[in-house]
Amino acid sequence: MSESGTQLFPPFSLTPYFSPRIWGADSLAPWYEVPGQSGPVGEAWLTGDQCVVENGPCKGMALTEAVRQNAVAILGEGHEGETQFPLLMKVLFPREKLSVQVHPDDAMAQKYGDPRGKTECWYALEAQPDASVALGLKPEATQEKVAAAIADHTLEGLLDWLPVRKGDMFFVDAGTVHAIGPGSVLLETQQNCDLTYRMYDYGRPRELHLEKSFEAMQLKTQAGRVRPQQQNGLEVLIDVRYFRVERIVVKPGENNAALAKHKGQAQILFAASGAGKVTGEGFESVTLSRGRAAIVPAHAVAWQVSAASEMEIFRAVPQ
Ligand SMILES: [Zn+2]
């Protein structure tokens, strides 16, 4: 039991879920080997509702079921009755352009019966020299100009395209019209929401959702590149409403004090390189290797990361 009387819960890892996408990659090497892959895969979901818990008391359960049965132990006080982990982390593998799209904010999502909207961020794990993303509309855009540009297939020209370099962090708040070009591998952290309104798809035959796109779209938003802040042995990549994402390097033999922050809060640990384990007393150690994620519950037993080789860890904390 923890001080508050809630049952303690050990850290656990999750099996990624691979989502086929027409704009994805035929191979996710060296990040992942997709069992039985027969077409392009665009996304590796690391903390999706359907990702399977690999160890601990909920071994074999889907994450959503583990949360439903242990909401307070995993998410903390005030989360009674929750059935979803609030943040969805994914790795994106765009090899073609993704559609131009927009996500609703909380208020719009709730109007249509969903619990939350989608604000997201992308960290560039890899980037080829010509990789780019589109974040928001150019200053001259108006509702009428956007509608006309969709009709005559020129919407790309109204978007604000930015080059992507390895190590860049981009903030994409709900309401931002956005797209991702080919040539990068992105670590996406987002509110756990599946509402995407497609505005424009370069003539591909997928369905568009224009009415809701225009309802969700904001002409001006906070989206853009975010500068990292150095803070006591870690790099704060972004710290906004809904999430905080940090980058931490852990070396073998080192007990990284920066990782001890956020004790008592649910968090996701993602390994972008190296290998190691999340260890502690009273639970079987949890392997963390490249491309894999573990969840440390709010009411976790004392834990630490032991690196077998130098690890680059990304931590996401819901807030
Ligand atoms: Zn998006």
| Ordered alpha helix ranges (H), the chain | 63-69, 71-75, 106-111, 143-151, 210-216
pLDDT at residue 301, rounded to an integer: 87
Distance CA 96, CA 122 (A): 17
pLDDT at residue 4, rounded to an integer: 55
Fold annotation for 229-318: Jelly Rolls (2.60.120)
pLDDT at residue 205, rounded to an integer: 85
Q: How far is the CA of 194 from the centre of ligand 1 (A)?
A: 10
Q: How far is the CA of 120 from the centre of ligand 1 (A)?
A: 7
Q: Does the active-site annotation cover 198?
A: yes
131 phi, psi to nearest 5 deg: -70, 145
pLDDT at residue 310, rounded to an integer: 96
The whole-model pTM stands at 0.96
Enumerate the domain spans of the chain: 12-226, 229-318
pLDDT at residue 5, rounded to an integer: 61
203 phi, psi to nearest 5 deg: 85, 0
Residue 304 CA, chain-centre distance (Å), reads 23
Q: How far is the CA of 56 from the centre of ligand 1 (A)?
A: 32
Distance CA 288, CA 312 (A): 11
| CATH entry, 12-226, from 2.60.120.10, 3.40.720.10, 3.30.70.270, 3.20.20.70 | 2.60.120.10
Q: Are 148 and 95 in contact (CB under 8 A)?
A: no
pLDDT along the chain (319 residues), means of 10: 70 96 93 92 97 97 98 94 96 95 98 96 98 97 96 94 98 98 97 95 89 97 97 94 97 84 91 95 93 96 93 97
Distance CA 181, CA 133 (A): 5
pLDDT at residue 25, rounded to an integer: 94
pLDDT at residue 263, rounded to an integer: 82
Same CATH topology for 12-226 and 229-318?
yes
Q: How far is the CA of 81 from the centre of ligand 1 (A)?
A: 27
Spatial strand order of the sheet with 87-92 comes to 17-25, 41-45, 87-92, 184-191, 120-127, 169-172, 224-226
Spatial CA neighbour of 47 closest among 72, 27, 64:
64
